[in-house]
Structure 1
């Protein structure tokens, strides 16, 4: 089969590799639609973000199958999942053996793996995954929407972690795909005033369509406008989605500082973005203002709920998919587009249809 193989940072090649064989408790999934995440793009480029050390060590030993944790496919070699099932997959693979897993705390697993990061992912025609990580895709949800469901699951986790109460104000920093999904989740989650800060006027217009009450451009004096909108108190919750490496079109580490300046005393900040290792954090101000800094997790429950929201029409994912490519060998091009979405006018990562016309994706 064809698959992406990383030979070094910045050197991703499509190659012929052996078909994968499932082990105990695993299934084979034929990939129908896949999209690169911004984090994967940063890691392929060699940015020092989460899992960078693991990838660097692996590359020192030779080429690596890397990438592809946001995808949809069809089960072909079945175990506990019937063949022909249309599925997506939760990326975090827990060991099931450590003390945390035995105590039903998989979120605290001592040695988790990650589809596409520590084991081969879906930048390929087919992939082997644990049956326990498979999430069925309901009728009415396209392969494209299912491949894009992980960011929506992340937005759901962020909203739940912030424990947004009815009527509380929410500021979403960033109007990319994560920010726009966070707006939709906040609106359906009974938030009160929703504010969005972003750089793209077209994306801010989408934020209004999705339920934002006030949108602020980068030059609008965001902290001052937020203070005005909240009578000087600050927002109850900030969902930060824009930080990360500027090399892939993100906003560096300054978005966390902005979040601290906009949140009220005793408020909550959920850091959704993946900042580089060693990024500065205003810890003294967080402590002085009694602000909680939170990090969302993952899990099949949010995936299932996210798919249900899409099936009901409560959240619009597909209108955020602006670039679709056809054929497994287009994966490097999808990564190139996703690594610089502003230059290509992309919102969601570019998607690749595998095994069929792009409109099937």
Structure 2
């Protein structure tokens, strides 16, 4: 099959690689649609963010496959011992994080504390390929009527749901999303359709600010021309936002916009040694939280991925508005990385998606 191969930072190409074969408890999925994340683009380029050292060690050992955890496809092979309700032809996506199931935390039913989870595309090959191998327990069915493009965009929405859950947004809370990129817009939508009162969003691009407004922000601030902190304080009668979702690398700004005793959820990917206004956070008793990764859930009848797909299926959250660039064929993966990393240069609202086949017409 064809897949993206990395030979060095900034050096990627689509090459022939062996087809994956499912082992016990595994399935192979033919990739119908995949999109790169900003984090993957930064790591592939060699930026010193989380996971950079791990990736550098892998490259030192030779060419490697990296990235591809936001995707949707069709099951093409099922290994022995996989759940019996999974079948060839099922339309699915998969949770990116799989706990080991063996450590002390997993044995005590605390998978969120597993010290060595596997992460699709990070600790092993992902969906930047024609086919991807995943643990069967991570597979999530896509409801009928949800296009592959929308299912491929569900992983960031699941992350936004985790962020709101950990922040425990209460009825009437003022919520601020700093940045009107993918995560800022998704946090805006989740807030608007949840318990939030006033929802504020900031953005530098006129198109992205318009998208944030369509997504339900009651106040949209032009971060290039306006004083964000002053506008937030003005809108909240000097109090500040109850919950701030920092989605643009503006930690200092988030600390000055949040109210005393409020909460900042760190969504953006920061450099390994990013400065932090610790004295200000301590003086104002501000909580700084980080959303969890993976599926998990908050209700016994639904995982976060299932809930995210349900929101998309019902039309409660619009992911189509974030899809502005669609490419075709596995050979287009390097171009998708370029567009996603430099979205403003290409006037992209979200990641560039790559369609490998149409699962609506495939026999």
TM-score (norm 2): 0.94
2:18 is the counterpart of 1:23? no
Residues 211, 321 of structure 2: 8 Å contact kept: no
Aligned counterpart, 1:314: 316
Mapped to 2, the partners of 1:242 and 1:358 lie a distance apart of 36
Out of 268, 273, 277, which is 2:268 matched to?
273
| CA deviation profile, 1:200-221 (whole Å, cap 9, x unmatched) | 1221112111111111111210
Mapped to 2, the partners of 1:230 and 1:83 lie a distance apart of 53
Out of 253, 258, 276, which is 1:258 matched to?
253
| CA deviation profile, 1:236-279 (whole Å, cap 9, x unmatched) | 00011112xxxxxxxxxxx0000000000000000011101001
Alignment gaps of 5+ in structure 2: 296-302
Aligned counterpart, 2:233: 227
Q: CA deviation at 1:105?
A: 1.1
Mapped to 2, the partners of 1:206 and 1:109 lie a distance apart of 37
Mapped to 1, the partners of 2:241 and 2:190 lie a distance apart of 17
Aligned counterpart, 2:244: 238
Which segment is superposed worse, 194-203 or 262-271?
194-203
Structural mapping, 1:197-236, within 5 Å:
197-218=202-223, 219-236=225-242
Does the residue aligned with 1:335 lie in a helix, a strand or coil? helix
Mapped to 2, the partners of 1:359 and 1:241 lie a distance apart of 37
Aligned counterpart, 2:196: 191
Out of 324, 327, 330, which is 1:325 matched to?
327
Does the residue aligned with 2:345 lie in a helix, a strand or coil? helix
Give the direction of change, closer, same or farther, for the CA distance of 1:217–1:208 in structure 2 (3 Å limit): same
Structural mapping, 1:91-106, within 5 Å:
91-106=96-111
Q: CA deviation at 1:356?
A: 4.3
Which segment is superposed worse, 350-359 or 256-265?
350-359
Q: CA deviation at 1:357?
A: 9.7
Out of 121, 135, 143, which is 2:140 matched to?
135
Residues 98, 294 of structure 2: 8 Å contact kept: no
Mapped to 1, the partners of 2:187 and 2:105 lie a distance apart of 30
Residues 87, 134 of structure 1: 8 Å contact kept: yes
Mapped to 2, the partners of 1:121 and 1:83 lie a distance apart of 19
Mapped to 2, the partners of 1:358 and 1:77 lie a distance apart of 19
Which segment is superposed worse, 95-104 or 203-212?
203-212
Structural mapping, 1:98-117, within 5 Å:
98-117=103-122
Give RMSD over aligned pairs: 1.4
Out of 283, 295, 303, which is 2:305 matched to?
303
| CA deviation profile, 1:312-342 (whole Å, cap 9, x unmatched) | 0101001210000010010000001001001
Does the residue aligned with 1:41 lie in a helix, a strand or coil? helix
Structural mapping, 1:38-53, within 5 Å:
38-53=38-53
| CA deviation profile, 1:177-224 (whole Å, cap 9, x unmatched) | 111111110011120001111101221112111111111111210001
Q: CA deviation at 1:355?
A: 2.9
